Structure 1
Amino acid sequence: MSSSRLETLSFYLQNVLADRFTSLDERLGELTISLHPADMLSSMQILRDHQDLHFDILIDLCGVDYSTYGAVSASESDRRGKRFAVVYHLLSVRHNHRLRVRIFADDDEFPVLDSMIGIWPSANWFEREAFDLYGTVFTGHPDLRRILTDYGFIGNPFRKDFPLSGNVEMRYDPDQQRVIYQPVSIEPRQITPRVIREEHYGDSE
């Protein structure tokens, strides 16, 4: 997006949303705003319905775990140590504008945000994915359940503290004639790769 169009979008956002967002950042030709979770529903409704914005399409949303992420710029100052966020990618077909919206959950132990299905129905499976992989709960979602992992899966695999070997493993038990879950039998280990080459490997003749 050209700098003039970014400036125009930034102007509209600041006038329309006023004090509803905590930061506005320009990076890689796109704008990112961070919203207060308490104003989430009303702010997203404005982003979709206001004539100067008209973000009528939710392209994608994804969860983020900031547990090992340091504040690298002023734009990260709105995080204030919060661990989980959801990032929304919006598109205005009418104005040909794109916008990234980031919202941090207040509670790190039980991250909860409002569902966007009532505003953008396409949020349905995206929110289920963020729930499955990060454990973020979306209030108001009509069918919030796992979508990528199986029903007996324990934990959320995209969290930074999730063990690489997982918590349980699944196998078929011939005696019970059914699939069962059991604790992981693989011992955790760290593999250090080694490259062994001949002394003159790669030398030209």
Structure 2
Amino acid sequence: MAENNRAVIKLKEKFPSAVLDVKEFRDEVTVTVAKENIVDICRFLKTELRYNLLTDVTAVDYLGREPRFMVVYNLYSIQNKDRLRVKAAVSEGSPQIDSVVSVWNTANWLERETFDLFGITFVGHPDLRRILMTDDWEGHPLRKDYPLQGPGREPYKGRLS
């Protein structure tokens, strides 16, 4: 059970109002947290619970819902052989969240990729610029409303599901 997971128990003790949801699916635990606490939560996970490896940062676009985006952090504890997924919701009107580069240096390129492809700004990032697309590229290709034929074309207006 996710509620019995050591990381979940410790997070709920340390950040009771910031832990918004906990889910378990196929033995993987996902904790949704308030975006305002992301740096403190990640620092706690690294220093106190030994999630010393940030394996990925990405986002999910829920076009038509608010908040529209979910920023996803995949963590691994080498010593404990334990994985944890942390998510934080980000609104369409202000698609930004604090950078976790101060916690894991690997977040540098991962946050740049998420910025480039989804348009989510990581506040406090030391070098937030495109990493995959050219500097003059218009838009963010992994957003669900990105034109299927590329920049300058009409966005997809079909069914979103």
Task: Provide the C-alpha distance between the structure 2 equivalents of 1:155 and 1:25, rounded to a whole number of angstroms.
Answer: 32
Q: Which residue of 1 aligns with 2:92?
A: 108
User: Higher relative CO (CA 8 A, sep ≥ 6), structure 1 or 2?
Assistant: 2
Aligned residue among 131, 136, 139 for 1:152: 136
- AA of the residue aligned to 1:61: V
**Structure 1: gaps of 5 or more residues:** 70-80, 169-183, 190-205
- AA of the residue aligned to 1:110: S
Secondary structure of residue in 2 paired with 1:141: coil
Task: Provide the C-alpha distance between the structure 2 equivalents of 1:44 and 1:130, rounded to a whole number of angstroms.
Answer: 18
Matches within 5 A, 1:68-79: 68=64
Instruction: State how many pairs are aligned.
Output: 156
Spell out structure 1 runs of 4+ moving beyond 6 A: none
- AA of the residue aligned to 2:73: Y
Seen in structure 2, the aligned counterparts of structure 1 residues 138 and 8 have a Cα distance that, compared at 3 Å, is closer
CA RMSD of aligned residues (A): 2.4
Quote how far apart the aligned CAs of 1:42 are. 1.1
TM-score (norm 2): 0.87
Aligned residue among 4, 18, 21 for 1:20: 18
Cα displacement string for residues 98-156 of structure 1 (whole angstroms, at most 9, x for unaligned residues): 10000111x31330101111000000111111101100000111111111111111011
Aligned residue among 118, 127, 130 for 1:143: 127
TM-score (norm 1): 0.69
User: Are 1:68 and 1:160, in contact at CA under 8 Å, matched by a contact in 2?
Assistant: no
Quote how far apart the aligned CAs of 1:13 are. 3.3
User: Are 2:8 and 2:31, in contact at CA under 8 Å, matched by a contact in 1?
Assistant: no
Quote how far apart the aligned CAs of 1:68 are. 4.8
**Structure 2: gaps of 5 or more residues:** 157-161
Aligned residue among 118, 143, 146 for 2:102: 118
Aligned identity (percent) is 36
Aligned residue among 130, 140, 143 for 2:114: 130
Quote how far apart the aligned CAs of 1:28 are. 1.4
